[in-house]
């Protein structure tokens, strides 16, 4: 099959552009300084995960399937990796520059990261005492030679590496290392009025000569190996006496020793050591990166926590202003949530409205004598989760609780295993979903007995049941007592318990069977409208767009004259604005204080408009390889509210960036007032900014966005 690559871009290269966009927030002078430092850390951790997962996947493919070709760019796996590492080098340089800019600004407020030679004499005495008492006793320096084989460098862990001569006649080169003990603090904050600190790795680096005191050190630096973390649960064999949890535990251990993907050096490298490591790690030269800024930026959160605890005035000055979630309109927190939900549908918008409203519902249900069962899908939970607490309370009160827990939620596997064991031991019915399909849907069904009938309260969401992330991720949570939605939810949980992916639902659209086909059908309806000379529009908000079939269909819609507005936070494989191909497609990305995470799919206008919210992005993994739920919003007031939300996001000219036909992010030029959608959502202005009715038609507003 011949592919047209003229209007698509590779998903991995698109992601790198998005992560560059995240880094640009650290350059924004309107973002508080400590938040700018956090954005650098987010950029860094994003890149770590990208290397572990996406580069890890491509590495595996390059070894087993040389015929694999990416259907958006025509590149094979190795060509993609080569392009990634080339662009990554530029990103390292950009990160170094931005980090230096932010550090210079922080110095004006007495916050300074120090090199050892910048310490005062008193500070050196303090660090020397600290090293002798708290660091040196737990270090394990090693050489790499015949008696000491090449080590298994732990994934994404810091190491001090050295090149030294032995001082003997042969003057032989020796390679050595010190693994960074995980029990150590990441930084040492020095005594004094100002916040002067030194990274722990730089402290150890300073004492290398004393640690390897019988050698002549000719090179030393900090080094980190990133490994493939894309472990495969599907092809593992399970013994008859094992259970699924045990299998996941075993497979997770492989993550520590999978193939190296990236080798990082701090400040500089040594030719002999680099060659030695490349050979033994079985990597290529282009997989080596050098950073002038810290390799591990997670120290930022320790620093910020210290400033908040010890310099509150300074913390407030250099951070986002505190934000208290709004009370949802029409909800009385002093009355029964169950009673209120029985009378009307509710839509909560996190973090602008608190997840506590759903938690109150669940807590109330756990004590309600009329509740006979609670069923829920779990992908990620917070540490010390109240969700888990209320489920346990429900069990104690004799309520049947079923939890479908996805143990394979990447990097949360151990966490989910813990909760699975906890809930199962308490008497919950715990199930795990499907071998080949992750269950990523977000649904909670509360069943109550009223007389001889059963009534349902169903919650459906775009994001996880995680109290922590609900404060920093934008998500939508829909709660309804509609009987048809509840009956679909009953069928869904029955199908999940019976390993049935092919269930039929009246209202819900569920992948891998009906979600994608339903979205395709709605796009076709808009295409037919445009062909018949009618107004046609599509608005879709998601995290990523990679599904080639849907991308091709959106191109077809554009060519037919459908106005397509896409709000895509991350990966976007379609290139908008190409004359006669995607000229009717506009794509923006919003990166701000909160992580955009909600998924919204709108088709048409006015009373005929169809709106679905979902846990799914338009990625092939979501549409074809996961269990996801899309759910309709049919309440007129809620539909109007959602349209107001997407209109406001499409009007954002502060935190939004528009993607051009090359896939690059550009600031939006404006002459009127600045509009930051997240800032407006944090206030009651949202309900005032977009009036109930406007003279200008919705389609006309969309058309104006393309001018």
Catalytic residues: 440
Q: Closest Cα to residue 477, out of 380, 567, 355?
A: 355
Q: 179-183 — which CB contacts under 8 Å span 24+ positions?
A: 179/140, 179/151, 179/153, 179/154, 180/204, 181/138, 181/139, 182/157, 183/138
Spatial separation of the C-alpha atoms in residues 10 and 18, rounded to whole Å? 12
Helix (H) or strand (E) holding 224: strand 216-227
What are the CA-CA distances from residue 485 to residues 342, 443, 515, 541, 640 (Å)? 13, 11, 16, 23, 20
Residue with tokens 């927030």: 25
DSSP letter, residue 615: S
Evaluate the omega torsion of the peptide bond into residue 317 and state whether it is cis, within 30 degrees of 0.
no
DSSP letter, residue 320: P
The sign of the torsion formed by the CA atoms of 456, 459, 465, 471 equals negative
Cβ neighbours of residue 600 closer than 8 Å, sequence gap 6 or more: 462, 476, 539, 540, 541, 542, 567, 611, 612, 613, 642, 645, 646
Pinpoint the alpha helices (H) of 561-684: 620-624, 636-650, 677-681
The sign of the torsion formed by the CA atoms of 310, 312, 318, 320 equals positive
Q: Are 114 and 197 in contact (CB under 8 A)?
A: yes
Spatial separation of the C-alpha atoms in residues 660 and 368, rounded to whole Å? 54
Spatial separation of the C-alpha atoms in residues 656 and 668, rounded to whole Å? 7
The sign of the torsion formed by the CA atoms of 214, 215, 220, 224 equals negative
Spatial separation of the C-alpha atoms in residues 45 and 187, rounded to whole Å? 18
Spatial separation of the C-alpha atoms in residues 209 and 295, rounded to whole Å? 22
Beta strands in 569-637 (DSSP E): 585-590, 595-596, 599-603, 610-614, 626-632
Evaluate the omega torsion of the peptide bond into residue 351 and state whether it is cis, within 30 degrees of 0.
yes
Spatial separation of the C-alpha atoms in residues 160 and 224, rounded to whole Å? 9
The sign of the torsion formed by the CA atoms of 506, 509, 511, 514 equals positive
Q: Look up residue 291 and give its two tokens.
A: 């950073």
Spatial separation of the C-alpha atoms in residues 419 and 425, rounded to whole Å? 10
Helix (H) or strand (E) holding 502: none
CB atoms within 10 A of CB 132: 12
Cβ neighbours of residue 700 closer than 8 Å, sequence gap 6 or more: none
The distance of Cα 656 from the centroid of its chain, to the nearest Å, equals: 18
Q: Is 267 left (phi over 0), alpha (psi -120 to 50) or beta?
A: left
Q: Are 575 and 8 in contact (CB under 8 A)?
A: yes
Spatial separation of the C-alpha atoms in residues 392 and 300, rounded to whole Å? 36
Spatial separation of the C-alpha atoms in residues 315 and 503, rounded to whole Å? 52
């Amino acid at each position: 099959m011949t592919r047209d690559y003229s209007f698509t871009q590779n998903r991995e290269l698109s992601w790198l552009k998005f992560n560059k966009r995240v880094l640009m927030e650290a350059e924004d002078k309107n973002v508080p300084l400590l938040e700018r430092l956090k954005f650098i850390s987010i950029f860094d951790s994003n890149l770590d995960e990208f290397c572990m997962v996406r580069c890890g996947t491509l590495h595996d493919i390059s070894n087993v399937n040389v015929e694999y070709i990416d259907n958006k760019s025509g590149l094979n796996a190795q060509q993609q990796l080569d392009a990634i590492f080339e662009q990554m080098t530029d990103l390292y340089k950009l990160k170094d520059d931005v980090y230096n800019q932010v550090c210079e600004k922080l110095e004006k407020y007495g916050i300074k990261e120090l090199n050892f030679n910048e310490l005062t004499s008193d500070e050196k005495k303090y660090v020397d005492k600290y090293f002798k008492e708290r660091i040196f006793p737990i270090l394990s320096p090693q050489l790499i030679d015949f008696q000491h084989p090449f080590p298994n460098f732990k994934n994404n862990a810091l190491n001090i590496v050295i090149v030294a001569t032995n001082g003997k006649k042969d003057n032989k080169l020796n390679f050595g290392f010190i693994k960074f003990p995980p029990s150590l603090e990441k930084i040492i904050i020095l005594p004094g009025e100002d916040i002067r600190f030194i990274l722990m790795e730089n402290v150890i680096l300073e004492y290398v000569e004393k640690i390897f005191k019988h050698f002549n050190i000719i090179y030393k630096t900090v080094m980190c190996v990133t490994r493939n973390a894309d472990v495969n649960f599907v092809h593992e064999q399970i013994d008859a006496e094992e259970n699924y949890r045990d299998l996941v535990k075993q497979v997770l251990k492989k993550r520590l020793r999978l193939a190296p993907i990236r080798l990082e050096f701090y400040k500089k490298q040594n030719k002999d050591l680099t060659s030695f490591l490349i050979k033994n790690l079985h990597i290529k030269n282009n997989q080596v990166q050098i950073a002038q800024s810290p390799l591990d930026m997670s120290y930022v959160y320790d620093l910020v926590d210290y400033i908040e605890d010890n310099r509150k005035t300074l913390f407030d000055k250099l951070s986002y202003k505190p934000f208290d979630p709004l009370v949802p309109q029409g909800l009385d927190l002093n009355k029964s949530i169950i009673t209120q939900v029985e009378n009307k549908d509710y839509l909560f918008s996190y973090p602008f409205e608190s997840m506590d409203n759903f938690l109150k519902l669940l807590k109330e249900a756990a004590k309600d004598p009329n509740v006979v069962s609670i069923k829920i899908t779990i992908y990620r939970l917070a540490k010390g989760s109240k969700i888990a607490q209320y489920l346990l309370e429900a069990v104690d009160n004799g309520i049947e609780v079923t939890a479908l827990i996805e143990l394979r939620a990447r990097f949360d596997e151990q966490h989910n295993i813990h909760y699975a064991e906890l809930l199962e031991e308490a008497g919950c019915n715990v199930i795990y979903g499907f071998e080949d399909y992750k269950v990523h849907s977000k649904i909670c069904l509360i069943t109550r007995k009223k007389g001889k009938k059963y009534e349902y309260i169903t919650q459906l969401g775009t994001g996880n049941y995680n109290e922590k992330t609900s404060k920093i991720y934008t998500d939508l949570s829909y709660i309804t007592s509609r009987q048809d939605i509840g009956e679909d939810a009953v069928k869904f949980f029955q199908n999940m318990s019976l390993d049935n992916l092919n269930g039929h639902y009246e209202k819900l659209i569920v992948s891998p069977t009906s979600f994608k086909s339903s979205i395709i059908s709605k796009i076709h309806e808009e295409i037919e409208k445009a062909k018949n000379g009618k107004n046609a529009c599509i608005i879709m908000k998601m995290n990523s767009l990679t599904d080639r079939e849907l991308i091709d269909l959106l191109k077809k819609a554009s060519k037919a004259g459908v106005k397509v507005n896409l709000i895509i936070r991350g990966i976007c494989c379609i290139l908008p604005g190409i004359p006669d191909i995607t000229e009717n497609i506009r794509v923006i990305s919003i990166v701000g204080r909160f992580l955009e995470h909600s998924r919204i799919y709108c088709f048409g206008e006015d009373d005929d408009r169809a709106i679905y919210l979902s846990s799914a992005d338009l990625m092939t993994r979501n549409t074809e390889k996961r269990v996801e739920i899309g759910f309709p919003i049919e309440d007129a007031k809620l539909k109007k509210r959602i349209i107001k939300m997407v209109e406001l996001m499409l009007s954002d000219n502060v935190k939004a960036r528009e993607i051009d036909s090359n896939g690059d992010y550009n600031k939006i030029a404006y002459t009127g007032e600045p509009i930051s959608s997240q800032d407006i959502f944090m206030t009651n202005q949202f309900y005032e900014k977009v009036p109930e009715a406007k003279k200008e038609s919705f389609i006309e507003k969309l058309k104006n966005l393309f001018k």
